[in-house]
Amino acid sequence: MIKVGIVGGTGYTGVELLRLLAQHPQAQLTTITSRKEAGMPVADMFPNLRGRVDLKFEDPATAPLKQCDVVFFATPNGIAMTQTRELLAAGVKVIDLAADFRITDVSTWEKWYGMTHACPELVAEAVYGLPELNREKIKSARLIANPGCYPTAVQLGFMPLIEAGVVDLNHLIADAKSGVSGAGRKAEVHALLAEAGDNFKAYGVAGHRHLPEISQGLSRAAGQSVGLTFVPHLTPMIRGIHATLYARLNKEVDLQALFEKRYRGEAFVDVLAPGTHPETRSVRAANICRIAVHRPQGGDTVVVLSVIDNLVKGASGQAVQNMNILFGLSETLGLDQVPILP
């Protein structure tokens, strides 16, 4: 059994990790930390875990994290980087669900996240945990930078086009929408029901923290820099991301065949039939990205529709997928949940 620790178990990604790992046949939850809620039974905060998780939250200062095989950080940005060096030295593998190790250029990270990096020497070692791109590197990693939710949906949607060299790399557009759980489990005015309900708005148009992460990933796939316009939107739903992606074709190609070939054998990417339109509810609570590719009016613009659950394939599910790869398990172990409808 894999002994698992979770730092920051009271947020949405934390409880989603608990839900998934409580059903994982090879994972043993050993410690879950929360400075504020130390001593509280986990099931008192999250009643859906009653009878599944009998642990209490522990103070991170005294929790036996070094006795774990792997530690997940489901914490705000800036926390994992202060503790990772010590855990790695103790032989513990680390999977960070925040952004501390995602961007390889430390100065770029510090610009976008507004803080000094605590362990820049580990950034180069960290493996970006998008399995459909970095599976082989993940297998031998000590430190995994779990991708962001928007970056997962956008990169999986653009990747086949960029790798095949069939689109203009200077004019990529990602128009993405997210449910309010993407903002985290904290009290903020914009996430109140009376503010977010019956409403729809763009935000971060001038620049969003996920922009450099997406640009970095797409540029790696292309082997050169790309021109990306990324506009996120907040929608009146709890879960889900819908990314509508636009690119200008520069070569004739069978788009459907291209996407089907690229993701053949990928358990968690579902390329839909021609002419279809994926819905966020079709992936709710499941570790799946569903993709459809269109060429409107047979013109030179390709439109890719990519949907994920931001808390699962966009966060905790992908983190468990990475854990499975790290420990040589079947990639789908503990992640075969059927999406929830309605």
User: How far from each other are the two terminal CA atoms of the chain, in whole angstroms?
Assistant: 35
| Tokens found for residue 115 | 């803080």
Count CA within 13 A, CB hemisphere, residue 50.
5
- Please give the radius of gyration of the chain, using alpha carbons only, rounded to the nearest integer: 20
Of the candidates 68, 119, 149, 289, the residue annotated as catalytic is: 149
342 preceded by cis ω (within 30°)? yes
Residues 8, 18: Cα–Cα separation, whole Å:
11
- The neighbouring-strand residues paired with 202 are 233
State yes or no: is 119 an active-site residue.
no
| Tokens found for residue 154 | 């956008």
The CA angle 179-182-183, to the nearest 5 degrees, is: 115
SS3 content of the chain, % helix, strand, coil (to 5): 35, 20, 45
Which residues in the chain belong to E strands, given as ranges?
A: 2-7, 27-33, 57-58, 70-73, 93-96, 127-128, 143-145, 172-178, 201-202, 228-234, 241-248, 269-271, 289-294, 301-308
CB 278 within 8 A of CB 291: yes
Instruction: Indicate which residues carry an active-site annotation.
Output: 149
